[in-house]
Each structure stands twice: as C-alpha cells, then as structure tokens.
Amino acid sequence: MRTALVVLVAAGCRPASSSTSVTVVDFIQEVHRAEQRPSVYTVTEWDAAGTVRPALVGPSPGRLIWTLPIPHGARFEAQIAAAGAPVRVRVGVSDARIYEALGDAAVTPGAPWTPVSVDLSAYAGWKPSLFYRPDRVAWRLVLSADAITGAPGTVAWGTPEIVASIRSAREYQTRRARLTRSEAP
C-alpha cells in the first residue's frame, strides 16, 4: 500500500509545464515561408461576427503550403471565417509521394469564427519501422480553401498555429534547426 502511495504522489509531482500546450509554429509570423497559390495572401485583423483576430486572408479557391518538420504530439489549430461566398477549408499533410486529408470545415460568410483542430502526432516521433522515420521528414502542411458554390470567396485563417507540449516545443526547435542546416547548400 505504501509503495502505491509513493508512486501516486511521484506521478502527481511532475512539472505541469510538460503537458501544457504552447504555440510552436505561428503561421502568421511564418507566412513569408509559405508557398502561396495564388500569391496574394495578406496578414490583417479580421472581424467575424464581432470578434477580431489576426489572420491570413486570401482567395477561395486558394492554398498555403509550408514545408517543415512536425513537433511530437502536435496539433494544428485555427479559426476560420469567410466573406463573399461559402468556403470549404481543408488541412492536409503531404510528402513527396502522397497527400493525406486530415480535416475540413465548411464556413458561410457572416458566421462566427469556426474552429479547426487537427491531430498531427502521426507525423513526428518514433515509429516501429525500419524505413518510416517521420522526424527526418520535412512535411508539407497544406491549408486549402475551395469555393463551395463555384463563386469565388475570401477565407480568413485566424491565428493558425501548431501547438504542442513545452517539452515537444524544445525538442522541435533543436530538430528544426538541424534539419534546416542539413538542407542549406
């Protein structure tokens, strides 16, 4: 009984910071690294139903693509708004071979911000495979906006970011710097 109590107390004494989510990648700050299709995205404050957020704003149809490693246990999170016409947004991950759709949402003009949260944990960390090593891959995170009715619209990606634990954020900064150095000419 005493051993079980010691184990429970020790488990409860772990630092809370290792499980707290923090912003690891702020895509508004990294918009200059994105491949933009078309290349007309802007950073602005966007008002959706009375709530203003910093946002990446561009056309629908349109696409933003960042090439980067993914933090361990990460999630992509954003708030989506539309103007002009209804929009369907999609979040996916690609490598040189395949594209995997991870989440989507339909947004109507004038609606409040629509939250989008996508699990990215499959794209980082150790996997039981000789060949699949996601920590060594610079993935392509793809944010797409499609015109639902065929009429072009505008999409606002409010506060788009990748979040993870503080421990994962620290490991990620080291790994991203190493991958960036290895890609330099």
Q: 182 or 95, which is more confident?
A: 95
Q: What is the pLDDT of residues 61-85, one digit of tens each?
A: 999 999 998 999 999 999 999 999 9
The domains located in the chain, with CATH, are: 27-183 (2.60.120.260)
Q: How far apart are CA 91 and CA 65, in angstroms?
A: 10
Q: In this structure, which amino acid lies at residue 55?
A: A
pLDDT in tens, 105-119: 999 999 999 999 999
The pLDDT assigned to 6 comes to 34
41 closest CA partner among 25, 54, 23:
54
Mean pLDDT, to the nearest integer, of 30-55? 96
Q: Tell me the C-alpha distance between 75 and 90, whole Å.
A: 14
Could you tell me the CA-to-CA distances from 116 to 22, 29, 33, 37, 98 in Å, in that order?
Answer: 17, 19, 22, 21, 22
Nearest to residue 141, comparing CAs of 61, 53, 25?
25
Point out which residues pair with 94 in neighbouring strands. 99, 140
pTM of the entire structure?
Answer: 0.81
